């Protein structure tokens, strides 16, 4: 379909989430509202020589519930997670693929790092046990991030736009934003989109420790992720996947789909400043939020809630707070502001998707989950982070922020669906 210059409206009709707080959207959301922490001892390898000995891991995931043994063996955990979340999201959407034109359904799913476990195990094969001739022929296909959208398209026969995004912690938000634009301009009617990550490997933890990016609060893992708290000392590594089914409004209405929310606007910017630190004052984040608001045709006064990037890093949290103040002025103090990462840790390339789901659930329920572990207020972080627990909050429009190493900024504005905007 050629783009005629008129942007089509895009809505969310299906969601699937595998997170450290639950393997369903319902369980995940209920635990967020309850203020539970997903942090605990690292279950994957001996951490005695590592500075950080805890993570936010998935609990109870069984790939065999979602795929056969052969596919599981030929898929890195990050792909397994995405396939599972996709199955749930498609079922949740109610799409009858047999009745759909699958050339009009695409997949954009990203991973910030890709097959870390595959690399780890094949490196062991090469250097410690069997040598180069015993490297698996599936090594490269299991490693590369784009294999996940490829696998999804093959399993479901989806022949529309198909690729992966890679922009560190902004990966999933870029995937969702790209999918939004593809539908807006008529290149697809339905998109399966989001992100997945399985980075809790020796090299993953060791690498982030080397950067001094991870919390080392080993005596109290459940207290380690403490965004906006004065004593924060780094993020907690998490894993999992979030997948959304989004579609053109009339396509959704015509098939009688349940609509969770509308994607109203996106803002993508670059800091052009530093490989890991945000620009001073969150300058890039200021522009991404302003672009998302403008794209939605709204004003700052229309936004009720910000789901922050909120990683629990000393520099990141204060710069995001400063950016919110710059964009919203005095209104910043009257908005709900929180960090999902306070409970699930940082899912890196999957963060934008699972946090988008939390944002959408706030729009659906008019409830906003707390930011936990905010015990010692940082004078530079003085917004309403809901540290006292979940709140009833009228949420008509909300922004989900994600920012990645390399200076990548992504803001997505979701709002309540109202058919009078047709």
* Burial (Cβ within 10 Å: 0-12, 13-18, ≥19) of residue 90: buried
* Burial (Cβ within 10 Å: 0-12, 13-18, ≥19) of residue 131: exposed
Partners of 243 in beta bridges: 16, 194
Contacts of 177 (CB under 8 A, 6+ apart): 266, 268, 410, 412
Which residue in the list 56, 169, 174, 369 is annotated as catalytic?
169
Specify the 3-state DSSP secondary structure of 348. helix
Specify the 3-state DSSP secondary structure of 276. coil
Is-catalytic flag, 174? no
CB 76 within 8 A of CB 114: yes
Which residue in the list 56, 174, 251, 346 is annotated as catalytic?
346
Residue appearing with tokens 């229309």: 302
Give exposure, 258-273, as e/b (b: 16+ Cβ within 10 Å): ebbbbbbbbbbbebee
Side-chain half-sphere CA neighbours of 5 within 13 A: 0
DSSP-derived letter for residue 126 is I
Which residue in the list 251, 309, 369, 408 is annotated as catalytic?
309
Catalytic residue numbers?
Answer: 169, 309, 346
């Amino acid at each position: 379909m050629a783009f005629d210059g008129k942007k089509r409206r895009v809505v969310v009709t299906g969601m699937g989430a595998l997170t450290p707080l639950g393997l369903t959207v319902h369980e995940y959301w209920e635990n967020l509202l309850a203020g539970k922490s997903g942090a605990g001892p690292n279950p994957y390898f001996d951490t005695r020589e590592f500075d950080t000995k805890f993570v936010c891991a998935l609990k109870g995931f069984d790939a065999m519930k979602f795929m056969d043994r052969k596919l599981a063996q030929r898929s890195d955990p990050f792909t397994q997670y995405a396939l599972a979340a996709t199955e749930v999201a498609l079922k949740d959407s109610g799409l009858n693929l047999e009745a759909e034109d699958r050339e009009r359904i695409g997949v954009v799913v990203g991973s910030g790092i890709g097959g870390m476990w595959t690399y780890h195990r094949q490196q062991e094969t090469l250097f410690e046990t069997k040598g180069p001739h015993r490297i698996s022929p599936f090594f490269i296909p299991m490693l590369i991030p784009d294999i996940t959208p490829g696998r999804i398209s093959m399993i479901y026969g989806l022949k529309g736009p198909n690729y992966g995004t890679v922009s560190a912690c902004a990966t999933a938000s870029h995937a969702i934003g790209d999918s939004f634009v593809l539908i807006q301009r008529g290149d697809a009617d339905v998109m399966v989109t989001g992100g997945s990550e399985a980075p809790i490997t020796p090299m993953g933890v060791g690498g982030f420790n080397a950067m001094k990016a991870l919390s080392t609060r080993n005596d109290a893992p459940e207290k380690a992720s403490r965004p906006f708290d004065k004593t924060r000392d780094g993020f907690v590594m998490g894993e999992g996947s979030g997948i959304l089914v989004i579609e053109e409004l009339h396509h959704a209405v015509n098939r009688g789909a349940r609509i969770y929310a509308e994607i109203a606007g996106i803002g993508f910017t670059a800091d052009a400043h530093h490989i890991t630190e945000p620009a001073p004052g969150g300058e890039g984040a200021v522009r991404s939020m302003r672009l998302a608001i403008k794209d939605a045709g709204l004003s700052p006064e229309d936004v009720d809630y910000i789901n922050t990037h909120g990683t629990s890093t000393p520099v990141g949290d204060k710069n995001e707070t400063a950016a919110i103040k710059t964009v919203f002025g005095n209104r910043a103090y009257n908005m709900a502001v929180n960090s999902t990462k306070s409970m699930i840790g940082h899912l890196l390339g999957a963060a934008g998707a699972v946090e988008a789901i939390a944002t959408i659930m706030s729009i659906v329920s008019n409830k906003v989950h707390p930011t936990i572990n905010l015990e010692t207020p940082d004078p530079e972080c003085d917004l309403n982070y809901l540290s006292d627990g979940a709140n009833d909050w009228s949420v008509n429009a909300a922004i989900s922020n994600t920012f990645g190493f390399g200076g990548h900024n992504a803001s997505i504005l979701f709002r309540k669906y109202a058919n009078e905007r047709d």
